[in-house]
């Protein structure tokens, strides 16, 4: 989204007692075996980033709802504010229709 998300503020709000305890090597093995899915795309920085920038959470929810199952996974990259959707070559129509997203970077399908 066009709004920035302060990395410092995200890390200030991160609660270590609420982070995932899944071993990253297990996630990598699952990705290697079964490909990308929502359950392997864990980003412990999402909850604090969504506190810092609530519009980021709404954007993820909108993409999820508008994608109607077209995405294998939708997640935030790093500490934000990039939201990634994997699986569909096209973003939801609202990204094209709303002026707020006019300057959003869209990446094509990877080969």
Task: Report the alpha-carbon distance of residue 31 to residue 15 in Å, rounded.
Answer: 26
Q: Is it true that domain 7-97 has CATH number 3.60.110.10? A: no
Q: Is the pLDDT of residue 102 over 80?
A: no
Of residues 4 and 38, more confidently modeled: 38
Exposure on the CB side of residue 36, measured as CA atoms within 13 A: 13
Percent of the chain with pLDDT over 70: 94
- Type and span of the H or E element at 86: strand 83-86
Q: What is the DSSP letter of 94?
A: H
Q: Is the pLDDT of residue 2 over 80?
A: no
- Among the ranges given (2-16, 36-50, 82-96), the one the predictor scored with the smallest mean pLDDT: 82-96
**Its pTM surpasses 0.85:** no
Task: Report the alpha-carbon distance of residue 19 to residue 55 in Å, rounded.
Answer: 22
Task: Give φ, ψ of 86 to 5 degrees.
Answer: -110, 130
Task: Report the alpha-carbon distance of residue 4 to residue 56 in Å, rounded.
Answer: 10
Q: How many helices (H) and strands (E) does the chain have?
A: 5, 2
Q: Where are the domains of the chain?
A: 7-97
Report the residue count for the chain. 111
Q: Is there a contact between 1 and 81 (Cβ–Cβ < 8 Å)?
A: yes
Using one digit for the tens of pLDDT, what is the confidence trace for 25-52?
999 999 999 999 999 999 999 999 999 9
């Amino acid at each position: 989204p066009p709004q920035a998300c302060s990395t410092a503020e995200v890390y200030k709000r991160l609660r270590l007692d609420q982070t995932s305890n899944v071993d990253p090597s297990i996630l990598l093995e699952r990705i290697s075996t079964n490909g990308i899915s929502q359950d392997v795309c864990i980003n412990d920085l999402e909850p604090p980033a969504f506190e810092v920038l609530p519009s980021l959470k709404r954007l993820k929810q909108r993409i999820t709802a508008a994608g109607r199952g077209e995405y294998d996974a939708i997640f935030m990259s790093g500490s934000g504010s990039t939201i990634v959707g994997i699986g569909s070559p096209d973003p939801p129509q609202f990204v094209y229709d709303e002026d707020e997203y006019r300057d959003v970077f869209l990446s094509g399908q990877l080969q």
